[in-house]
């Protein structure tokens, strides 16, 4: 939160874009998000950490007027001006995403249904059982990032080293029982950084489904991964999620 996110996005757009693109198309008018939902409310040791590629801007409202981004922009600007209370205000906004009417769009609806069916028999698993994060916390409308460039940046750039610290602290806090990586980029990045062994492709389903384990701060966490849900090649539909979970758990 203390970083100048506009400068970070400028660097990212110039250095991690796909080779055939002039820019990675990340938004410099929306702050990055460290997490979505309340990690302090998760059932420690019996929760899932769900990690996507990066947050998608899926609204036509200009960011300062947006119900999620407007308060974030205001809090961060005040924090940079010396108002230390704005830090807790911003963290509170991220914690209450699923409980205060801030949630919008359909991104969390279907995964929530699958978590409810397979793991957590509650109305809304995102509140106490599933924590959402992203491999890249900056917003965009499309994914125009180059994977090799991201891997290099993750190991060398302060912005990613800072974010890795946040990620590791969330893991330490919630002690997840599982990690689920939604997208090829999250799988390759976290396998490279924290993987014990090479992830193994699943036998009963394609769609980029792999399984393995991550070692984060000395904690070994079973991990499942798949292509980004909602895309043509992604893990889509209840039957595909059922097949992936059934092979992963041996049921």
- Burial code of 158-176, b = ≥16 C-beta within 10 A, e = fewer? ebbeebeeebeebbeebbb
Percent of the chain with pLDDT over 70: 98
Is the confidence at residue 88, as pLDDT, over 90?
Answer: yes
Average pLDDT over residues 55-76: 85
pLDDT score for 105? 66
β pairing state of 210-216 and 219-226: antiparallel
More confident residue, 106 or 43: 43
- How many Å is the Cα radius of gyration of the chain? 18
Instruction: Give the residue extent of every domain in the chain.
Output: 5-28+36-59+106-249
Average pLDDT over the chain reads 93
* Topology adopted by domain 5-28+36-59+106-249: Uracil-DNA Glycosylase, subunit E (3.40.470)
pLDDT digits (tens, 9 = 90+) for 208-233: 999 999 999 999 999 999 999 988 89
Residue 185 has pLDDT above 80, yes or no: yes
31: phi then psi, degrees, rounded to nearest 5: -65, 150
The string of pLDDT tens digits covering residues 90-113 is: 999 999 999 987 776 678 999 999
Of 132, 212, 218, nearest in space to 172 by CA: 218
Give me the torsion for CA of 221, 224, 227, 229, rounded to 10°.
Answer: -100
pLDDT higher than threshold 80 for residue 9 = yes
Average pLDDT, integer, range 39-60 = 92
Q: How far apart are CA 18 and CA 21, in angstroms?
A: 5
pLDDT, residue 204, reads 94
95 vs 71: CA distance, rounded Å? 13
Q: In this predicted structure, what is the pLDDT of residue 114?
A: 95
User: What's the confidence (pLDDT) of residue 223?
Assistant: 98
């Amino acid at each position: 939160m203390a970083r100048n996110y506009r400068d970070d996005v400028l660097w990212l757009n110039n250095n991690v874009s796909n080779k055939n693109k002039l820019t990675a198309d990340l938004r410099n008018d929306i702050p990055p998000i460290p997490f979505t939902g309340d990690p302090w409310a998760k059932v420690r040791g019996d929760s899932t950490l769900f990690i996507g590629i990066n947050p998608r801007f899926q609204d036509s409202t200009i960011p300062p007027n947006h119900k999620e981004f407007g308060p974030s922009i205001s809090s961060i600007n005040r924090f940079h001006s010396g108002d230390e209370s704005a830090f807790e205000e911003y963290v509170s906004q991220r914690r209450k995403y699923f409980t205060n009417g801030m949630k919008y769009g359909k991104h969390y609806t279907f995964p929530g249904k699958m978590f409810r069916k397979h793991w957590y028999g509650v109305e809304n698993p995102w509140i106490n059982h599933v924590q959402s994060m992203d491999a890249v916390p900056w917003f965009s409308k499309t994914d125009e990032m180059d994977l090799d460039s991201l891997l290099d940046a993750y190991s060398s750039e302060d912005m990613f080293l800072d974010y890795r610290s946040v990620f590791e602290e969330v893991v330490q806090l919630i002690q997840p029982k599982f990690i689920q990586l939604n997208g090829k980029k999250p799988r390759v990045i976290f396998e490279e950084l924290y993987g014990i062994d090479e992830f193994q492709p699943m036998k009963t389903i394609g769609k980029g489904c792999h399984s393995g384990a991550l070692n984060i701060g000395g904690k070994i966490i079973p991990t499942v991964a798949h292509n980004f849900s909602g895309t043509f090649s992604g893990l889509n539909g209840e039957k595909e999620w059922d097949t992936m979970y059934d092979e992963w758990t041996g049921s």
